[in-house]
Amino acid sequence: MKFVYNGIKTENGLYQAWYFKCQNGDIEIVAKNYKHLPHIPGTVIRNDSDSMTDYFCEDSIKFTPFSPYWKEVKGAYEAQETHRAKMHERRIVKKTRLTMDGWLPSEMP
């Protein structure tokens, strides 16, 4: 198992997820697209869905600095943030280039 910027990779494939930093410093991994997260020994998967009220949540796992997975989870969170910053920069550059070439954002092809 490996924590990567876009989820958790296991022998069964990639479980896509987001990483969020909590106010208390913990890191929470939340599954994307209402898929399930893989079982990770020593963790509890949380899902507060309630089908009686049509309230559906995605699986999530919180990691504290005391977790044996902390170093890997923190590294994946930082990689995600680096990836997001690069993608944001690409969008800004593309938008700037298009407006400099005479295209307005509302007229983009």
Q: Residue 67 domain-assigned?
A: yes
Token pair of 19, please?
Answer: 């990483």
List pLDDT tens digits, range 41-88. 989 888 877 777 766 788 899 999 999 999 999 999 999 999 999 988
Q: Is 84 part of any domain?
A: yes
Q: Global pTM?
A: 0.74
Beta bridge partners of 14: 9
As given in the structure block, the two tokens for residue 85 are 């910053």
Domain region containing 18: 2-104
Tokens 């998967």 belong to: 45
Number of structural domains found in the chain: 1
Is 109 contained in some domain? no
Does 19 map to a domain? yes
Q: How confident is the model at residue 89 (pLDDT cuts 50, 70, 90)?
A: confident
Confidence of residue 31 (pLDDT cuts 50, 70, 90): very high
pLDDT above 70 as % of the chain: 82
